[in-house]
Amino acid sequence: MSRNFSATLCSSVAALMTCIAAVAAAECPRKDALGTYRVLAVDPAATPRVGLKSFPQTLPLDDHEVVLTFDDGPWPATDHKILAALAQECVRATFFLIGKPASVYPELVRRMAAEGHTVAHHTWTHHNLKYMKPDAAIGEIEKGIAAVEAALHGKVTTTPSTPFFRFPYFEMTQATLDALQSRGIAVFGTDLWASDWNPMTPAEQLKLLTERLQAARKGIILLHDPKAQTSAMLPAFLRWLRENRYRVVHIVRAGAKTVSDKPQ
C-alpha cells in the first residue's frame, strides 16, 4: 500500500475512532518473531478516553489483538531488560513515563523513542490526582509532560508530542478529565492487567496474565516496567503471545510518522 493511499484512507474514516494502518508496523529480521502486526493511530478528538477498567469504551481491537503498555518508568535496572525483550520479538509498546525519573534518565527516554516505542505521560511524581486541588493536579500533569518532552527533545513544553496520558492509580476527577480533553490529550485506562504491583514470581505473574487474556481475548494490557518480576516474565509472555497467535498492535498519535510511512 502506498503512502498516498494510506493517507487517503485515513482521511476518509476521520469520523471513526481511529485510523488503522493497513500495513505491518515494522520489518523484522527474525521471521519467527512475534512482530508488531499493525499500527493504530489514535485521535484524541475522536477518542478522548479508552480502557474498560475506567470507561465504557476501548480501542477497536479485533479478536486476539493486544496493545502493550508500561507504567512508571523510566527505570534503568529493568527497562534495559524490557527493551531487549521487545526488540528480540520486534514488538513495539507504549511507555507512560513519570516526569521526575525521566528528567534523571533522559537517555533512556530517548532510547525508547529511538527504538520505535510510543512515549506517553503519567504525571511528575505519580501523586494521586483525585485528592489534589484542581490547579495542583493540572500542575502535576503539566510538570510531568514538560519533563518528558525535555528528555525527548531538549525543549521544555507542556504541549505533548504524543498526547496520551494515564492517571496514576486510575484515579481521576471530572475537572481533570475535562481539562485534558479540552487540550486534545487522550486519557488511557486499560482493559486488563497483570496485578504486578503485588509480590509474585514471574511464573505466577505469567499464569495470571495469560489466564486473564484468554478470558478477555483482546485488549490494552497494563504492566509496570520498574517491577523486576515483570521484566523477568516478559520474554516468556511474548513467546506465549506468539505461540497462541496473538497479534500486537502499536498505538501512535494521529498523524505520527511511522516506519509504515516510508516510500513504497
pLDDT at 23 > cutoff 80? no
Task: Give the residue-averaged pLDDT of 145-163.
Answer: 97
What does the domain layout of the chain look like in residue ranges?
Answer: 49-246
Residue 131 has what DSSP assignment?
A: G
Q: How far apart are CA 86 and CA 77, in angstroms?
A: 16
| Whole-number average pLDDT of the chain | 90
Q: How far is CA 6 from CA 12, 48, 103, 194, 263, in A?
A: 10, 23, 36, 35, 11
CA angle, 178 then 41 then 248, to 5°:
115
Residues 6+ apart with CB under 8 A from 196: 205, 223, 224, 227, 229, 230
Give pLDDT, residue 256: 80
pLDDT at 232 > cutoff 50? yes
Task: Give the residue-averaged pLDDT of 108-134.
Answer: 97
Structural contact between residues 212 and 222, judged by C-beta atoms closer than 8 angstroms:
no
Reading the block at residue 77, the C-alpha cell is: 535496572
Task: Give the residue-averaged pLDDT of 245-249.
Answer: 98
Q: How far apart are CA 102 and CA 43, in angstroms?
A: 25
Is 224 marked active-site? yes
Give pLDDT, residue 257: 67
The rounded radius of gyration (Å) of the Cα atoms in the chain is 17
Catalytic residue among 117, 121, 224, 250: 224
Task: Give the residue-averaged pLDDT of 97-106.
Answer: 98
pLDDT tens readout for residues 155-213: 999 999 999 999 999 999 999 999 999 999 999 999 999 999 999 999 999 999 999 99
Task: Give the residue-averaged pLDDT of 242-257.
Answer: 94
Structural contact between residues 160 and 145, judged by C-beta atoms closer than 8 angstroms:
yes
Cis preceding linkage at 199, omega within 30: no
Reading the block at residue 54, the C-alpha cell is: 475506567
Least Cα distance to 40 among 260, 262, 206, 263 occurs for 260
Residues 6+ apart with CB under 8 A from 90: 26, 28, 29, 30, 33, 34, 35, 36
User: Into which CATH architecture does domain 49-246 fall?
Assistant: Alpha-Beta Barrel (3.20)
Task: Report the SS3 class of residue 199.
Answer: coil
Least Cα distance to 120 among 80, 87, 156, 152 occurs for 152
pLDDT tens readout for residues 80-98: 999 999 999 999 999 999 9
Catalytic residue among 43, 71, 191, 225: 71
Is pTM beyond 0.85? Reply is: yes
Structural contact between residues 203 and 48, judged by C-beta atoms closer than 8 angstroms:
no
Reading the block at residue 94, the C-alpha cell is: 507504549
Is 250 marked active-site? no
